[in-house]
Amino acid sequence: MVVSMTGFGRGEAVQDNIHAVVEIRSVNNRFLEVVSRLPRSLSGYELELKEFVRQRVSRGRVNVAVTLKSPEPGCLGIKLDLETARLYLQLLQKLRDSLQLEDSIKLEHILGFSEVFTSEESDDLAEKSWACVKIALEKAFEEFLQMKKDEGISLANDITARINKLNRYVDEIEEISKEHVKKEFSLLKQRVEEILTTSPVDAERLRLEIAILADRLDVTEECVRVRSHTRLFTELMASPQLVGRRLNFLLQEMNREANTMGAKSNNADISHRVVFMKEEIEKIREQVQNIE
């Protein structure tokens, strides 16, 4: 099954006066990497969140951002420490007067001190918040996975078209190779007959060498192996498994066979098609890098 490694999902939930928003983004990565951003009150649930992702994603860099809101002040355990705020205001005023500055002290200056806000963390509040987050998380993942599947369909369509083009090049190479081998064998035979009329040579040994040389020019085996790889490639894309790594391995094998074809052939038409094959393989490889 072709599933893209890139995706986005957003989910919201409201429960017990707590409003949770979860956003999930993912990009390509060789392995699975989960990066979470949680409110401090939910830091104890980070491992549970990452395990939730690992059970549903196998590859990619996944970023999960969780935000908590509440229509009622203090519901999220955050309170304003007015005494501390007044103390910081007095200190800032004293600093301004000591340095003989004319600038006025603004609210943003006081908000720069984290001690102005305090949190009253409790297990009960964290549990309620996490319960709300899990609902939003499920919704976000549903949208996230659907986007990955939709992009996977587009990838599969593009790759299938390129695989078909690759097979056409293989058919052309095989056909050209057959004619080329016949021609080379005929020329070699003619040359051998000329040599035999002028020099004493072991005829059987010479014919054997000619057969071996002709076989080295034949790329039929390589064509058969490439077709086998492309057939398996297509089957894997249609399978229910996540196949990104296996597809990449098959592309390596296809590229190896193409290199062998190019090395064995001294025919320009075959060499040109080998170049076209390698271009398609590279384009497919770029697309496979996006597959989970």
Q: How far apart are CA 171 and CA 167, in angstroms?
A: 6
Domain residue limits, the chain = 7-75+122-148, 78-116, 152-288
Residue 46 and residue 133: Cα distance in Å, rounded? 12
Question: Is the per-residue pLDDT at 81 higher than 90?
Answer: no
State pLDDT tens for residues 250-269: 999 999 999 999 888 778 89
Residue 73 pLDDT > 70:
no
Among 106, 86, 85, 84, residue whose Cα is nearest residue 96: 106
Tell me: pLDDT of 71 over 60.
Answer: no
pLDDT tens-digit map of 150-200: 999 999 999 999 999 999 999 999 888 877 767 766 666 666 666 666 666
- Ranked by mean pLDDT, the top range of 64-68, 74-78, 115-119, 203-207 is 64-68
Q: Which of 42, 65, 39 is nearest to 53 (CA)?
A: 65
Rounded Cα distance, 22 and 43, in Å = 15
Q: Is 121 left (phi over 0), alpha (psi -120 to 50) or beta?
A: beta
Sorted by sequence, the CB contacts under 8 Å of residue 134 that are 6+ apart come out as: none
Spatial distance between the Cα atoms of 52 and 58, rounded to a whole number of angstroms: 12
State the chain's maximal CA–CA distance in angstroms: 116
Beta strands in 107-187 (DSSP E): 117-119
- pLDDT value, residue 157: 95
Q: What angle do CA 54, 28, 241 make, to 5 degrees?
A: 55
CATH number of 7-75+122-148: 3.30.230
- 8 A C-beta contact, residue 289 and residue 245: no
Q: Who wins on pLDDT, 96 or 23?
A: 23
Q: Which residues contact 175 (CB under 8 A, 6 or more apart)?
A: none
Which pLDDT does position 120 carry in this prediction? 56
Inter-CA distances, 246 with 263, 284, 291, Å: 26, 13, 11
pLDDT band for position 230 (50/70/90)? Answer: very high
Asked if residue 77 has pLDDT above 60, the reply is no
CB neighbour list of residue 23: distance below 8 Å, 6 or more residues apart = 8, 9, 10, 64, 65, 140
Helix (H, G, I), strand (E, B) or coil at 221: helix
For the ranges 60-64, 69-73, 148-152, which has the lowest average pLDDT? 69-73
| Least confident residue range of 23-27, 180-184, 202-206 | 202-206
Query: What mean pLDDT is predicted for residues 280-284?
Result: 96
Q: Are 19 and 12 in contact (CB under 8 A)?
A: yes
